[in-house]
Amino acid sequence: MNVVDFCGWLEYFSDRPNAGFFAPAIENTAKLLVPTLTLFEVFKRFCGPTYLFSKSIRLMPSLR
């Protein structure tokens, strides 16, 4: 099981220097566990910019 906190999602969606570290855990949706609070924090931060929103929406069906 992989749990990625808000900081990891921030790195991933913003293509920051550590995005590559978090990418395998985030993209392996079969083992990804996303706490409800983390979902809230991520969407609170990223729902504004269109390109980030569309990227997050593509991942949502896979998240459990």
| Encoded tokens for 15 | 């293509």
Q: What is the pLDDT, as a whole number, of residue 50?
A: 60
pLDDT tens digits, 31-53: 999 998 898 888 777 776 565 66
Higher pLDDT, 20 or 61: 20
Cα gap 53→3, rounded to integer Å: 21
Share of the chain above pLDDT 90, in %: 48
The amino acid present at 21, given as its one-letter code, is: F
pLDDT band of residue 18 (cuts 50, 70, 90) is: very high
Q: What is the pLDDT, as a whole number, of residue 40?
A: 80
Higher pLDDT, 3 or 61: 3
